Amino acid sequence: MDSATMDYVGQMLQWLSTAFVVVIGVVAALAVLAFFVDVLQTKDAVRRNYPLIGRFRGLFSGLGEFFRQYFFAMDREEMPFNRAERDWIARASTGAKNTIAFGSTKSLTPTGTPIFVNCPFPQLEEEQEAVSSMVIGPHCANPYEAPSFVNISAMSYGALSRPAVKALSKGARLANCWLNTGEGGLSKHHLRGNCDLVFQIGTAKYGVRDEHGSLSDDKLREVAAVPQVKMFEIKLSQGAKPGKGGILPAAKVTQEIARIRGIPAHQASISPNRHVDIGSEGELLDFVNRVRNVTGKPTGFKTVVGAYGWLERMCELIGERGVEHAPDFITIDSGDGGTGAAPMPLMDNVGLPIRESLPMVANILAAHGLRERVRIIASGKLITPSEVAWALAAGADFINTARGFMFALGCIQSLKCNKNTCPTGVTTHNPRFQRGLVPHEKAQRVAAYHRNLVAEVATIAHSCGVSRPRKLQRRHVRLVQNTGVSVPMDKLFPWPQDREPARSAAAN
């Protein structure tokens, strides 16, 4: 080795040693500083008693969700959605082969588990009939012939990112289903795919409010004039936060979103806990009829069921006023529904789950002769074929899902929807994260998830001996009891006069 090379190597070693000493010195200085900061601070007892080392507790707590999801939780253990459910959606949305081997990992013994009753002579595949449309709002100037029994539930632009809304709009068009705008108003991104839209009117009336925050008939007419808008849904409450309005953190209220909603930018968007002009069953019907008369389009409402006497009184009032005054549909959300931001006490403890509320509402409508007049839309964690099939058997006409389609978009359940840091770009307005969500690619996944979900619900229906999913009835499902023995659902939730209400021919 010549002298020049040796000099160069010597200089590099000297530089590395100097850099090493500097790094060690900086780390040591920071460690000493952190040590004394921890000792002197008074807010955190762990850090005060265990300076420097105590900081790892916060780090490991923050990483706990990650480690549980990928290393420690079993396939059926996680909440709100376990790995088996997420993997099924991943396969369904990518077109991968959706079969499994060696037996089910799902336990069939927990109380409430639905078990479908297979027929000894099931429907032959070659006799499979196409799922037909169903008419909503027969008394409207513009009834809606809804083509699919599975649709995309309410998710606002604001709660969702711009590319996510575009992907859902394009995917809904490919799937031939509707997309609910959520309470955040109608944006150009909802219109991007030219799909059918359900415009949701929240308690703050975003998108259809006047300068005082009240409902504006003129703006209602503007929205109704958009051909893609097929129905209007009045949001009374949603599953994750019954009794509290929508919450959009200030970090997610961009200039564009503020303009669409008619609110100040960069300030938290907090909706009232109810519509100020709906305080009784009569006022609810008045509001429904006002929206329907102004728009000429089917109008219903969304609610979480807790107390249910008001539904009885509403049905009695409809009997007095006439069936044309009834809401065209009722969307029932589950008490364990999801959202981007909600108080834990409401999310965990308030509102009936869909397993109880759906059969109850269907029975109340049937008892008052309104089951055929008022369509029932079920919502709340119904993301897999068995859950959708159960809802149809229990009495639903349509099923809405939000988080199922979020998973199709690429959601990884990082539980950061309210922080504007969603790593997959679904619920963030940070361009860095949005870059990962390519609308035209994800639209294909949205459509594939819908297609495979509908197909596998049909598979369950055929196994039960019926030709179409909407022909599933409560007698086709048994529910496991705490004794470990299952009981037919039509015995646990018998229809009034023990008679299954007939769906119209167009409804099958």
pLDDT digits (tens, 9 = 90+) for 56-100: 677 666 655 655 665 555 555 566 667 778 787 888 888 877 777
Which has the minimum average pLDDT: 105-114, 383-392, 413-422?
A: 413-422
For residue 301, give both structure tokens: 């409402």
* Percent over 70 (pLDDT), the chain: 84
Whether 436 maps to a domain, the answer reads yes
Helix, strand, coil share of the chain (percent; to 5): 45, 10, 45
Residue 108, in any domain of the structure: no
Kindly state whether residues 48 and 152 are assigned to the same domain: no
Domain of 53, in residue numbers: 3-72
Residue 81 falls inside a structural domain: no
In a domain, 115, yes or no: no
Q: Are 442 and 334 within one domain?
A: yes
Span 358-369, pLDDT tens digits: 999 999 999 999
Contacts of 386 (CB under 8 A, 6+ apart): 114, 116, 460
pLDDT value, residue 507: 46
Average of pLDDT values for 434-461? 92
Single out the residue in 72, 88, 107 at which a domain terminates: 72
User: Measuring CA to CA, which residue among 436, 354, 345 is closest to residue 395?
Assistant: 354
Residue 341 to residues 64, 240, 269, 337, 354, Cα–Cα distance (Å): 20, 9, 11, 12, 20
Residues 132 and 41 both lie in one domain? no
Average pLDDT of span 37-53: 74
Please report which confidence band the pLDDT of residue 18 belongs to, taking 50, 70 and 90 as the band edges: confident
73 or 118, greater pLDDT = 118
Q: What is the CATH number of the domain that holds 447?
A: 3.20.20.70
Spatial separation of the C-alpha atoms in residues 407 and 323, rounded to whole Å: 39
Residue 506 pLDDT? 45
Query: Is there a single domain that holds both residue 215 and residue 353?
Result: yes
Residue 149 lies in a domain: yes
Give how many domains the chain has, as a whole number: 2
Neighbours of 356 (CB within 10 A): 14
Q: Same domain, yes or no, for 58 and 150?
A: no
* Residue 121 to residues 87, 462, 508, Cα–Cα distance (Å): 31, 10, 21
Distance spanning both ends of the chain, measured CA to CA: 87
> Which 3 state secondary structure label does DSSP give 54?
coil
User: How many CB atoms are located within 10 Å of the residue 284 CB?
Assistant: 21
Same domain, 168 and 289: yes
Distance between CA atoms of residues 301 and 311, nearest Å? 12
388: its two tokens: 């959708």
Are residues 256 and 393 part of one domain? Answer: yes
Q: Are 484 and 403 in contact (CB under 8 A)?
A: no
**82 within domain boundaries:** no
Q: Is residue 147 part of a domain?
A: yes
Neighbours of 205 (CB within 10 A): 26
- Confidence at 26, pLDDT banded by 50, 70, 90: confident
What is the spatial distance between Cα 400 and Cα 152, in angstroms, rounded to a whole number?
5
Contacts for 210 with CB less than 8 Å, ≥ 6 apart = 216, 219
Least reliable range by pLDDT among 374-388, 390-404, 431-445, 467-481: 431-445
Residue 300: its pLDDT value, please?
A: 97
* Residue 273 phi, psi (nearest 5): -75, -10
Judge if 16 and 133 occupy the same domain.
no
Residues 64 and 174 in one domain: no
215 and 297 share one domain:
yes
The highest-confidence range among 45-49, 209-213, 344-348, 387-391, by mean pLDDT, is 387-391
Given this model, what pLDDT does residue 505 score? 45
If asked whether residues 134 and 13 sit together in one domain, one would say no
* Beta pairing, strands 196-201 & 229-235: parallel
Residue 102: is its pLDDT beyond 80? no
The reply to whether 64 and 147 lie within a common domain is: no
Q: How far apart are CA 332 and CA 327, in angstroms?
A: 13
Per-residue buried b or exposed e for 410-424, using 16+ beta carbons within 10 Å of the residue's own CB: bbebbebbbebebeb
Both structure tokens of 325: 């005054």
More confident residue, 333 or 502: 333
